[in-house]
Structure 1
Amino acid sequence: MSETLDMQRGLLLSLSPGRRTYWMAQAVAVLSLVVLLSAVPFAKVQLAQLPLFVPIYESALILNDLVTAALLFGQFAITRSRAMLALASGYLFTAATALGHLLSFPGLFAPGGLLGAGPQSTAWIYMFWHAGFPLFVIAYAVLKGREEREPDRFPAYTLTRKTALCTVAAVLGASAACVALATAGAHLLPPIMAANRYTPNMAIVAGSTWGISVAALIVLWRTRPHLTLDVWLMVVLCVWICDVALSTVFNGGRYDLGFYAGRVFGLLGASFVLLSLLIENTVLHSRLAAARAELKQLAAGDVGDRQG
């Protein structure tokens, strides 16, 4: 077995999920689907404009994604797995692109938004953001499958500072390119917003983005065996699909019920892998403390035997 797979055995998220994990994941997925179906008939109901909602929601989401990315990069430092590097990069991409979305949102920091944003910029950044993350998940699933099937052809990365810095720079560059295209290059893109309402073009763009998310879920599901991380990542994609559906597919524009409900889904989705990682770190620390105490007891016993 390759060095990558050997090191992964020590990580809880890289172990096979138990029945309880599957049950909890299925419960969250079913509940998300029920909420989605309940909200779809009312998705276009216009609600009050709450100026503070967007910065509060996106600040929490960016923080969640940054912490998740940092923890996943830490997992990569242990496993040296290309798949883990791809997933960590996906969370970093979402955090950086969400920041661009926040800064460009009209009326928050400037009447038309910052970064030279135009009337189409925020909506397009949202589309790039929500299409980008599933693509990183697809990359994670494909690389994970190859590492499982052909471990000798995909040895563990040699971790260097240059590797980490180049990866972070590439991800931030991709995010910056998306934001630049949606702002400075907005004239190259078809209009998807008319004031706060969607144009007919939005149906095509949103449907394509939704389709990418569904494809990512299918690819991840078909990549066996499933790890605990994979199960929670599938839950993230289910919630992500609900987010895109309510925010861009079934609603009519900004500040309707779908706009708010979809973003609540998005914030919840950003938290599942983070919570799993935090729980894993706590459990691993507990196991390490227990192992250390057991070693001390064994050492004390050996000393006693020698003296006797």
Structure 2
Amino acid sequence: MNNDINLIAADGISRRQTAFAWTIIALLLLLLVIITPYAQLPLTPIPGYIGAFGVAMFVVNIILASLLFSKGIIENSARTVHLGTAYFFVTAIFVPLIASFPGSFMPGSLIGNSVSPVWIWCYWHVGFAVLVIRYATSGKRAIRIRASIAFTLATVILLTMSATVWQRWMPDILQNGSSFFEDNTFLIPVTVLGVNLLALICVARMEKQEPEQLWITVAMVAACIDVWLTVYGNTRFSLGWYFAKLTSLFTSLTVLISQLYGITRLYNSIASANKVLLTLANQDGLTSLTNRRCFDEILEIEWNRARRDKRSLGLLMIDVDFFKKYNDEYGHLQGDDCLRRVAEHLIGVIKRPGDVAARYGGEEFAIILPNTDAAGAIQVAERLQRNLRTSAITHRRNQPLPIVTLSIGIACATPGGDALLEQLSARADSALYAAKNNGRNQYRVALTTQSINSDHLPLSAI
């Protein structure tokens, strides 16, 4: 159980995850080397490509931001909230990016002009990288999700205004209507790439490495490749431009998949822990038999089943003879061991899947025998006493036989229409006391296989 709880509390990075992440990074770098020489190769414009890409980015990032915000609240982690803010920023800024890009959903732009989406692209990559740096360098701070969301939306609005309404006062970064960052504006993409590289270094140098940080590292490698190929591709619809867009989507998908994987592992851990807790809740800690609470539930279920099927239900109430004297003679630790050995004998005499052995309380035990009449219950009682005598657990203060013995009360009945479960339990208990009062080390039968109603059947000594 402790292992399950530890897994829930802190899911470390496995070697398999680390190897997989580094494999992805190696493949991305290999693709970068292969594609860079051909990045400026012009390709056919695909109508609606940027619209479909933008919608995919919006959906992936809003889901990712929601997951990270929820995780941050549950774990009371400001750092995770900061990361959620980074992906919420991407979600928000993609709305004006799609609206300003010519041909997203209509021939022209909904806002701004052909230069606007280039500026918004710069804001997207710089803003995301800055927020990732904030995530990597933040410590224990108060969590303010609403303030973060409000500030992010206000920032996106201001950036959109600068790229559209106030764009005439901005440097011209789209030469000849197609080429990116020519002449004196080349410092802009260098700055964008530099901020992303700084974010990558900050994430890679984080002290407490967890799966989340590992996959953010992969995402930032992809983000740097995206910036490089976009700038090196130089124009829209070049090979580098197309591949950069796929890399951008991969950046968010990588972290989203890692979060979903973490949720799946967490769910499996919780399910395993719940199984352990359910077992502990139904099991006696000393003997590993069914405990009293679970025994009462099972007995009621079997009683109702016996009533429905008109079959006999057997109940054995069992008491270790002179157990207080055993504790006085040998001590409580030895007494606990004695109870465990008696429990092993109880388990040894029940053969069918439906039979249940339970610790009723203290030195008292019980056995439920579905579809069993008095003759069958007596066989179980005799076998139990015979096996216990054979094991010969020493009990010097139990005379005349100086070994551990049992007194057993047996009750069997087919429930009638007005029968009560308490009657079966009470009569088994009465039979047990009769066995104890008549010298112990024996069993007594209180009920036959007759149908229980309100009449009281006499005890039978056997």
What TM-score do you get using the length of structure 1 for normalisation? 0.87
- Corresponding position of 2:336: none
User: Which of the residues 163, 166, 170 maps onto 1:182?
Assistant: 163
The CA deviation at 1:166 is: 2.1
The CA deviation at 1:110 is: 4.4
- Corresponding position of 2:277: 295
Q: Which amino acid aligns with 1:90?
A: A
- Corresponding position of 1:253: 235
Q: Separation in 1 of the partners of 2:19 and 2:114?
A: 44
Any conservation in 1 of the 2:8–2:269 contact (CA below 8 Å)?
Answer: no
The CA deviation at 1:8 is: 11
User: Which of the residues 82, 95, 101 maps onto 2:97?
Assistant: 101
- Corresponding position of 2:252: 270
CA RMSD of aligned residues (A): 1.9
User: Which of the residues 150, 163, 177 maps onto 1:195?
Assistant: 177
The CA deviation at 1:9 is: 8.0
* Deviation digits for residues 109-156 of structure 1 (CA, Å, limit 9, x no counterpart): 4444113x123101000010011111111001111xxx3xxxxxx36x
The CA deviation at 1:192 is: 0.7
Distance 1:204 1:261, change over 3 A: same
User: Which of the residues 16, 29, 33 maps onto 1:33?
Assistant: 29
Distance 1:270 1:23, change over 3 A: same
- Corresponding position of 1:119: 114
Q: Does 1:57 find its partner at 2:53?
A: yes
Any conservation in 1 of the 2:178–2:235 contact (CA below 8 Å)?
Answer: yes
Any conservation in 1 of the 2:48–2:103 contact (CA below 8 Å)?
Answer: no
The CA deviation at 1:60 is: 0.9
Distance 1:41 1:230, change over 3 A: same
Higher strand share: 2
SS at 1:50 equivalent? coil
- Corresponding position of 2:148: 167
Structure-to-structure mapping, 1:144-163, within 5 angstroms: 147=139, 154=140, 157=142, 163=144
- Corresponding position of 2:214: 231
Structure 2 spans left out of the alignment, 5+ residues: 285-290, 292-357, 366-462
* Deviation digits for residues 55-75 of structure 1 (CA, Å, limit 9, x no counterpart): 111111111111000000011
User: Which of the residues 119, 124, 128 maps onto 2:123?
Assistant: 128
Q: Which amino acid aligns with 1:74?
A: S
The CA deviation at 1:270 is: 1.0
Q: Which amino acid aligns with 1:230?
A: Q
The CA deviation at 1:165 is: 2.1
The CA deviation at 1:227 is: 1.6
Distance 1:199 1:285, change over 3 A: closer
Any conservation in 2 of the 1:135–1:216 contact (CA below 8 Å)?
Answer: yes
Any conservation in 2 of the 1:8–1:79 contact (CA below 8 Å)?
Answer: no
Q: Does 1:24 find its partner at 2:33?
A: no
Q: Separation in 1 of the partners of 2:279 and 2:196?
A: 52
Q: Which amino acid aligns with 1:291?
A: A
Q: Separation in 2 of the partners of 1:86 and 1:232?
A: 16
Q: Which amino acid aligns with 2:13?
A: P
Q: Does 1:45 find its partner at 2:99?
A: no
**Structure (1 or 2) with the larger CA radius of gyration:** 2
- Corresponding position of 1:150: none
Q: Which amino acid aligns with 1:176?
A: I
SS at 2:360 equivalent? helix
The CA deviation at 1:18 is: 2.1
- Corresponding position of 2:189: 206
* Deviation digits for residues 52-101 of structure 1 (CA, Å, limit 9, x no counterpart): 21111111111111100000001111122221121110000011111210
User: Which of the residues 264, 273, 285 maps onto 1:282?
Assistant: 264
Q: Which amino acid aligns with 2:123?
A: F
Q: Which amino acid aligns with 2:132?
A: V
Distance 1:223 1:105, change over 3 A: same
The aligned length equals 284
- Corresponding position of 1:151: none
Any conservation in 2 of the 1:244–1:262 contact (CA below 8 Å)?
Answer: yes
Distance 1:83 1:176, change over 3 A: same
Any conservation in 1 of the 2:222–2:250 contact (CA below 8 Å)?
Answer: yes
SS at 1:306 equivalent? strand
Distance 1:40 1:80, change over 3 A: same
User: Which of the residues 136, 142, 164 maps onto 1:141?
Assistant: 136
* Deviation digits for residues 145-197 of structure 1 (CA, Å, limit 9, x no counterpart): xx3xxxxxx36x3x6xxx33222111111112111110111112101113122
Q: Which has the higher contact order (CA 8 A, sep 6+)?
A: 1
The CA deviation at 1:236 is: 0.1
- Corresponding position of 2:426: none
Structure 1 spans left out of the alignment, 5+ residues: 1-6, 148-153
Q: Separation in 2 of the partners of 1:230 and 1:88?
A: 13
